[in-house]
Amino acid sequence: MDTENGFYNLLSKQVADSGDMAEVYQQTLQELELHTQARMSAVILVHQGFQVSAIKRAGHGVQLFAGESALAKHHDLPATFIKSAAYSKSLDYQINFQAEDDIWQTQYLDIHESLQVAVPIFHEQVVIAVLFLETSTDIDVQAIDEQNIIKMFAQTIGIEFEKRFLTEQAQLALAQSADNAKALHDKVIQSEHFLSLLTELHRVTIELSRSKTLNELFYRSVSLALRHLQIDRMAIFIIDQESNRMFGTFGTNEKGEVVDESYYSSVIPDHPVVQETLRRKDYVIVIEDTALQHDKKEVGRGWNAMVALWDGEQALGWIAVDNLINHRPLELHHKEVLKLYAANLSQLIFRKRQDERLLEFNKQLEQRVLERTAELASANHALENANRALESANAQLERLSMMDGLTGVSNRRFFDSSLNSEWDRALRHHKRLSLLMIDVDKFKEFNDCYGHIEGDKALQQVAMSLVKHARRSGEVVARYGGEEFAILLPHVSDQELTHVVNNVLAGVRELAIPHSASQISEAVTISVGVATLFPDNTLSTNDLIEMADKALYQAKIKGRDQAVFA
């Protein structure tokens, strides 16, 4: 016993003095060969999917494997036996027979026997590695002290493995914590900048609403944006679709000074960037590292961004901004603020035009009253028409506020309103209500691979595909947020619901949008969570959403590109 303790202490010191785990493996396998006459030994890491870390063959040095080295690729190691010892969590022996002749020629058969031993190494009752050796020692007289030596080797490497494993995990956790803290700090700063810009945007919008004329509105739009919204240079162009011409209003020169550019007029350029800007709502077109101009003369280089101004479905013109003065990068929150600014300015331009038209109309009306009292009734009728047009425009603005600007389907606000209405209706008539929660699979990887512009196009295609399968009265397709959509289906049968779900999945697959970064499919796919309830007074809309959301989570766990019914 004293001899074994002395050997254990010496082995522990030798292993502990090793510089890293590679030296631990090397020291252990060399000593193992020395004391057990092992003709082969190895260390297999169970917690890394049975990866072989080191092998020692008699008369050769220790071979270390730093990268991928699956146990299945090492044909001289008995994979089934090693895994069996790991699963049983106990030291195991087996006899290995090798024949050097034809197994049917038993008369001349040369059979070699060897003993194979597998010893599990534990960390908190979990097997993290297996120590394996093969020896030609006489099987029938395997000494107890040799077994103890093998166990001591396993215990020694296990203790050192555990210490270094825990140290490595602690270092990784510390590094991860630092990375998370930095990322959180960066997000907080970005959020603060975004909130600050939103506050300034609100103040600017209030100031702009006080403009008395359209010309004043254009001037103040440029000057206030330069002063409060971190914009270097800005210009506003108005277009006339019938004549296909564009007109300047106010802009900035190469020094960032606000100048009157109402003299400028030309045919609307047939440039793809301009045409794309005038085709898309609520979208900022950005050209990186391009020539920046003033009066058609190049004044520098930087990024140029454009966003359209809209009156309903008709483009009014566009805003152009760049970073000539301070060369600031265009952050995501700057783009969001620019989109909101364009939307607010569009409404103000529309309303100011309406005000000026109404003012001009009133002047003409007064003149006509003085000239011909008989035309008063006709003038009043025209005024009523103008008021109805204003009401219609306001109603249109309200409808637009219920739409998602990117995909053209309903937005979250409209979805919430529709869900509450359909819930109340189903409760009154004791009808069932079904909800599909849909997520575009691996969309972050898609954006990382193809870029956000292609990502937006993919979301638009997916949205249009979903709309094809929810056209009945009361059925709603909405963008729930990011790459997530929702479909609300009032009082549909199980058969109809299954039909819709299958069509939704198949419809997106048929789009065949390439997705080389997905491990699920070569094309874009979706995961669907489906839930159905008969509303009663003990439940709420949140219960339906939560059921569908949990089902969606299960669909993702099961491999995505599928639907799970709650």
Would you please indicate which residues are annotated as catalytic (active-site) residues?
A: 483
Tell me the angle at which helices 443-450 and 452-467 cross, rounded to the nearest 10 degrees.
130
Strands (E) located in 12-125: 38-45, 51-57, 62-64, 92-99, 111-123
Here the tokens at position 97 are 């027979």
Q: Which residues pair with 320 in a beta bridge?
A: 235, 306
Dihedral (CA of 385, 391, 393, 396) sign: negative
CA gap 435, 412 in Å, rounded: 14
Say how far apart CA 350 and CA 312 lie, in whole Å: 10
Count other Cβ atoms within 10 Å, centred on residue 479: 26
| 335, two tokens | 């783009």
- Find the farthest-apart pair of alpha carbons in the chain and give their distance in angstroms, rounded: 134
Contact 246, 317 (CB under 8 A): yes
Q: Quick one: how far is CA 124 from the chain centroid?
A: 36
Give the torsion sign (CA, 17, 22, 28, 34).
negative
CA distance 53 to 64: 6
Residue 498, both tokens: 């299954």
301 Cβ contact list (under 8 Å, min separation 6): 289, 290, 291, 292
Whole-Å CA distances, 35 to 29, 145, 151, 371:
10, 11, 12, 123
Q: And the tokens for 266?
A: 């030309």
Angstrom distances, CA of residue 265 to CA of 244, 262, 295, 307, 308: 11, 8, 11, 19, 18
Torsion sign (Cα): 69, 71, 76, 77: positive
Report how far residue 299's alpha carbon sits from residue 396's, in angstroms, rounded to the nearest whole number. Answer: 41
The answer to whether the beta carbons of residues 414 and 403 sit under 8 Å apart is: yes
21 in the Ramachandran plot: left (φ > 0), alpha (ψ -120 to 50) or beta?
alpha
Residues 6+ apart with CB under 8 A from 523: 509, 511, 512, 513, 514, 515
- At residue 23, what are phi and psi to the nearest 5 degrees? -70, -35
Rounded Cα distance between 462 and 452, Å, is 15
